Structure 1
Amino acid sequence: MSDKRPPGTLGLDLRSDGSRRCGLCGDYRKMTKAHVPPQKAGNRDEVVSAPLRVHDNKRSYGRALKGGMWFRGLCGECNSLAGARYDSAYADFAHRLLTYVRVRRHLHLPAPDPAPPVRLAPGRVARSVLMGMFATTPHLRQMFPGLANDLRDERPHITMPDGAVLRMALYSSPRTRLASMYSGLRVIGQRQYYLMFSEVYFRPLAWVLTPNDSRGREDLGSSPLDMWAVADEWLQYGDDATSIDLRDLCRRGVPTVHRHPLHQGADEWVEAFDSSTMAVLEGQIPR
């Protein structure tokens, strides 16, 4: 499949139509639009998105499109599986959080401690997130084939593979972002690093699949993800667990982030990525 973007543009082209290997099952098939997060969670219609590009050492955006945040990263069968089994649970969780946030602001309630008092189906939510991440980051199948197979085979209890951890935070910004396989190092001010395999920023939630081994990174400083809640154990919950209190899942708390870490003091960060595994899509939720 030819790449019709400007010559020298870096990053994967995951929005073009055609056939390639599905990010989840690995079969060579025609790809379909995988909305991440699900359309039912508000990711549709007036949400505008555009691919981030780097050409001749300059950052720019491709053509902006309405219709949400999506990549053609899953075949129709895998995309339908996520939609039929898990996406409604994710949408329900997101809507409950948005309702809670609106009520808290209206009544001037204190910040939630340790987390918002909302209920969710944790196993279904985590599966929806991860299947979306395999759509945005096809290279994940090569890195974690067991996880891909467990999700595809609908295993009732899944263990996160060694080498990865799924983190989440509340996210308040209307700015949206999908990205895969890159890293950042803060070289001005507080020493920090940001490493991830895949990320989803879409109000009211942000998710990052990141390496779980920090050995050898002590000289890089801390990571802004260290304070995020860990959702690995959510995969141990089956489809029958549909009403678990978030406070019981995140006893150490869930932080609220107001922007992507690299958007805060962007000139202070140096970013690194491999154009064969990296893709970035940014957008906006209408106010």
Structure 2
Amino acid sequence: MRPYIVDNVMCHDSPREGGLWLRTICEPCNGLASRYDDAYGELANRVSLIDRLNRRGFAQPSHPYGVPSVHVAPGRVARSVLHGMVALAPSMNLMHEEFLTGLLKDDTQIRLPPGLQLRVARAVKPLCRIASAYSMLQVLGQRQVYDVFAEIYFAPFIWVLCSKPPDTLGHSLIELERWGDATDWIRYSSTATRSDLRDVLDRLPTTVHPIQRNRQQWIELSSPDQTYLLEGLIHE
């Protein structure tokens, strides 16, 4: 995957040695992000457990918009997700330097830049996918747009960092399906570890990623030099 760095020099040509090259989080950032990964894992495990109980016929507290009754550490989960997203989107350093600095300093007063949203939905199909900025357009049938700055898809969740697309492109799939809005989660203290998910998220709809829909109706727009994408299937 290009570009990559050798001896502190950014390279764009294919490496002579071949193999798989990834642009990943540097050691200091990875160490900081790992402080919060357990909170994300605990949330995912709790939601997955409720899914398994529901499939076995055990009644669980219901919510009109699909939000399960589980504890969450919203500030810690948001930091875990956003650290991964800024690693996927290096342009954050140019476009939102103040936010990135606050994230890397673990600032307690950090806010997402104006216009950016952190949205989340339930993912039911066993796809794993991480990607930087790209767009998908539904050109047949109802005109829709799926436009993201960064994306992390690991069941049971799909997270996107996005902004409202221009109306000329069509209706936003994220808005049409009314994905949950976790934009303010980053404002929660890292000491808030037992919030009820129903209190910090108004809805959590189940969705199917556009690449898993009718591909004859959707086109994908990406840059071979600036879009980073890795995907696979999860085998249980």
Short-chain TM bin: 0.7 to 0.9
> Offset of 1:109 from its aligned partner?
4.0
For residue 256 of structure 1, the aligned residue among 187, 206, 216 is 206
1:5 matched to which residue of 2? none
For residue 85 of structure 2, the aligned residue among 108, 112, 133 is 133
1:35 matched to which residue of 2? none
Q: Aligned letter for 2:81?
A: V
Deviations 1:28-63 (A, max 9, x none): 9xxxxxxxxxxxxxxxxxxxxxxxxxxxxxxxxxx8
The answer for unaligned runs of 5 or more in structure 2 is: 11-18
Are the counterparts in 2 of residues 186 and 270 from structure 1 also a CA contact under 8 Å? Answer: yes
Are the counterparts in 2 of residues 181 and 197 from structure 1 also a CA contact under 8 Å? Answer: yes
Are the counterparts in 2 of residues 165 and 232 from structure 1 also a CA contact under 8 Å? Answer: yes
For residue 103 of structure 2, the aligned residue among 122, 128, 151 is 151
Deviations 1:75-103 (A, max 9, x none): 111111111x2111111111111111111
Distance 1:19 1:250, change over 3 A: farther
Are the counterparts in 1 of residues 210 and 218 from structure 2 also a CA contact under 8 Å? Answer: no
1:107 matched to which residue of 2? 57
Within 5 Å, give how 1:228-267 maps onto structure 2. Answer: 228-251=179-202, 253-257=203-207, 259-267=208-216
Are the counterparts in 2 of residues 127 and 235 from structure 1 also a CA contact under 8 Å? Answer: yes
2:151 matched to which residue of 1? 199
Q: Distance in 1 between matches of 2:129 and 2:198?
A: 26
Distance 1:208 1:20, change over 3 A: farther
1:75 matched to which residue of 2? 26
> Offset of 1:17 from its aligned partner?
7.3
Q: Distance in 2 between matches of 1:19 and 1:167?
A: 37
**RMSD, matched Cα:** 2.4
2:16 matched to which residue of 1? none
Asked if residue 184 in structure 1 is aligned to residue 136 in structure 2, the reply is yes
For residue 161 of structure 2, the aligned residue among 183, 186, 209 is 209
SS of corresponding position for 2:25: strand
**Percentage identity across paired residues of the two chains:** 38
For residue 95 of structure 1, the aligned residue among 45, 65, 77 is 45
Are the counterparts in 2 of residues 73 and 134 from structure 1 also a CA contact under 8 Å? Answer: no
Q: TM-score, normalised by structure 2?
A: 0.87
Q: Distance in 1 between matches of 2:8 and 2:32?
A: 19
Matched residues, number: 225
Distance 1:19 1:95, change over 3 A: farther
Distance 1:131 1:281, change over 3 A: same
Q: Distance in 1 between matches of 2:210 and 2:223?
A: 20
Q: TM-score, normalised by structure 1?
A: 0.72
Distance 1:244 1:19, change over 3 A: farther
Are the counterparts in 2 of residues 71 and 135 from structure 1 also a CA contact under 8 Å? Answer: no
Are the counterparts in 1 of residues 136 and 210 from structure 2 also a CA contact under 8 Å? Answer: no
